[in-house]
Amino acid sequence: MNIEEMTIEEIAEQINSLFDNKKYSDIKSILAEINPADGAIIFEEVSYERQILLFRLLPKEEAAEVFVELDYDTQETLIHGFSDTELREVLDELYLDDTVDIIEEMPATIVKRILKNTDSQTRASINTLLKYPEDSAGSIMTPEFVDLKKNNTVEDAFKRIRRTGPDKETIYTCYVTDESRHLIGVITVKDLLLHEYDDKIEDLMETNIIYIYTHDDKETAVQLFDKYDFLALPVVDMEQRLVGIITVDDALDVLQEENTEDIHKMNAILHNEKPYLKMSVGEIWKSRILWLLILMVSATFTSIILNAFEAKLSALIILTSFIPMLTGTSGNSGGQASAVIIRALSLGEIGFKDIFKVIWKEFRVGVLCGLTLAAVNFVKVWVLDRWLLGMEGITVGVDLVISLTLVIEIIFAKMVGCIFPILAKKLKLDPAVISSPIITTVMDALSLLVYFGFATAILHI
């Protein structure tokens, strides 16, 4: 049995069959060899009754690391099965920010048990962390960092790292604070290693420090990681006192989460943090139905417009045949613009100050795209639709109306697609709420007005 060659699914299957045969020591030796993140996957593949057994077979020093990778349901099952001693052992090994994440998801009875099994100092820190708003930098930080004093030497620093390091989430960036806990410097272990033992921290530390406030948005923290390539970012309170750090792995998680949220919003979905397969049908329905309803009812405008032009449509029914193509194309054009602008806003590539630059750019892109599509369409309608498919009622006038509509609606679509998200941002809304379905709904109505305008003017109907 060579587990290095096996996929996690195969290992899980193997473990299940070892359970069937009660070969617990074999399970133990498999578990000793695998990474905590993989260990967590195995937990999801065994039955509830086996989970607590499996947990007890984990190497002591890895148990907490696996625990933190489990989903909340499994964590809850395990905590139910834990003795108080086991619970305390796990809690002792967890980093505080992870404990807080778990507490936020657990029912009250379990939270009570967790708090009962932590010492009073930890309990106080947990309570402080729980108070930060959900999307704040404070909510993702950990108060466990290595702090140094400016008159420490490099040797002192290493001693302190050796003593306190095992409990810290990262030791590679150390923070220098004064007697009132103000952040006055930062020094990396790399710098420490490359200097002499008796050098003073004060002379080596970086004093031009990038930091973030506890109440800042966690998205801002991610942008700082992206820009400055940090391994950890210090978090200070309103009085500039260092209260915690955010580590790069947590920033990566936030980034993934924010991107998922953006993609969902851009498609008119209310975001839910659960992974897809864990969501119930009712939860998925809830995340999707609101916008579908709003957009469906908003489409009343298109019904009104079509109804108003009913007589003209009856007179020249061929015009109906091109409505989905026209509304589709304007929706697609607007959706392209809004997607690009929303993303550029969220990457910080553009801001409100660039609004006129963006509008001017999109206007020209709209003219170019409009002319290209109109030219292709003019030929296509004439050759494919009229000649090859034999659609009746297509005249040069009709073809012209369709093509001119394309030019104008695409320019409009690019304008709407770029202006809406920038304005949303200015109004402190998330630009991603300007989903392409919203753009499509607006453009459906606008395109029809343009279409009937040209039809009236050119075809005199």
Q: Which stretch binds a copy of itself (CB under 8 A): 12-20, 121-129, 371-379, 421-429?
A: 371-379
List all residues 6 or more positions away from 147 whose beta carbon is below 8 Å from its beta carbon: 174, 175, 176, 177, 242
Residue type, position 437, single letter: P
Residue 188: beta bridge partners?
Answer: 173
CB of 2 to a copy of itself, least distance (A): 12
CB of 151 to a copy of itself, least distance (A): 22
Q: Which of 20, 179, 276, 460 forms a contact with a copy of itself (CB under 8 A)?
A: 276
Residue type, position 92, single letter: D
CB of 252 to a copy of itself, least distance (A): 6
CB of 430 to a copy of itself, least distance (A): 14
Closest to a copy of itself by CB, 49 or 167:
167
Residue type, position 461, single letter: I
CB of 80 to a copy of itself, least distance (A): 26
Q: Which of 106, 115, 284, 415 forms a contact with a copy of itself (CB under 8 A)?
A: 284
CB of 400 to a copy of itself, least distance (A): 16
User: Beta strand 232-236 with 242-247: parallel, antiparallel or unpaired?
Assistant: antiparallel
Q: Show the binding pattern over residues 4-23: x = contacts a copy of itself (CB under 8 A), - = does not.
A: x-------------------
Residues 245 and 267: beta-carbon distance below 8 Å: no
Please give the Cα distance from 322 to 329 (Å, whole number): 11
Contact between 262 and a copy of itself per CB under 8 A: yes
CA 70, chain centre distance (Å): 20
Residues 351 and 424: beta-carbon distance below 8 Å: no
Phi, psi of 200 (to 5 degrees): -90, 140
Q: Which of 87, 90, 137, 373 forms a contact with a copy of itself (CB under 8 A)?
A: 373
Q: Which of 282, 427, 428, 460 forms a contact with a copy of itself (CB under 8 A)?
A: 282
Closest to a copy of itself by CB, 18 or 391:
391
Phi, psi of 299 (to 5 degrees): -65, -5
Please give the Cα distance from 451 to 117 (Å, whole number): 70
Contact between 138 and a copy of itself per CB under 8 A: no
Closest to a copy of itself by CB, 119 or 226:
226
Q: Which stretch binds a copy of itself (CB under 8 A): 43-51, 71-79, 178-186, 272-280?
A: 272-280
Closest to a copy of itself by CB, 148 or 341:
341
For the segment 374-433, give every residue that binds a copy of itself (CB under 8 A): 376-377, 380, 384-385, 389, 391-392
Residues 180 and 241: beta-carbon distance below 8 Å: yes
CB of 30 to a copy of itself, least distance (A): 11
Q: Show the binding pattern over residues 285-314: x = contacts a copy of itself (CB under 8 A), - = does not.
A: x--xx-xxx-xxx-xx-xxx-xx--x--xx
Please give the Cα distance from 270 to 265 (Å, whole number): 6
Q: What is the residue whose two structure tokens read 């639709």?
A: 385
Q: Show the binding pattern over residues 75-94: x = contacts a copy of itself (CB under 8 A), - = does not.
A: --------------------
Contact between 252 and a copy of itself per CB under 8 A: yes
Q: Show the binding pattern over residues 177-216: x = contacts a copy of itself (CB under 8 A), - = does not.
A: ------------xx--xx-------------x-x------
Q: Which of 253, 359, 415, 453 forms a contact with a copy of itself (CB under 8 A)?
A: 253
For the segment 33-52, give every residue that binds a copy of itself (CB under 8 A): 33-35, 37
Residues 169 and 247: beta-carbon distance below 8 Å: yes
Please give the Cα distance from 175 to 234 (Å, whole number): 8
Closest to a copy of itself by CB, 85 or 356:
356
Contact between 457 and a copy of itself per CB under 8 A: no
Q: Is 225 exposed, middle or buried (0-12, 13-18, 19+ CB in 10 A)?
A: buried
Q: Which of 31, 201, 269, 450 forms a contact with a copy of itself (CB under 8 A)?
A: 269
Residue 175: beta bridge partners?
Answer: 147, 186
Please give the Cα distance from 405 to 400 (Å, whole number): 8
Phi, psi of 135 (to 5 degrees): -100, 15
Q: Which of 5, 228, 356, 460 forms a contact with a copy of itself (CB under 8 A)?
A: 228
Q: Which of 1, 124, 130, 368 forms a contact with a copy of itself (CB under 8 A)?
A: 368
End-to-end, the C-alpha distance of the chain in Å comes to: 81
Q: Show the binding pattern over residues 321-360: x = contacts a copy of itself (CB under 8 A), - = does not.
A: xxxxx-xxx-xxx-xx-xxxxxxx--x-xx---x--xx--
- By CB under 8 A, how many residues form the interface with a copy of itself? 115
Please give the Cα distance from 113 to 110 (Å, whole number): 5
Q: Is 89 exposed, middle or buried (0-12, 13-18, 19+ CB in 10 A)?
A: middle
Residues 225 and 254: beta-carbon distance below 8 Å: no
Rg of the chain over CA atoms, in angstroms?
30
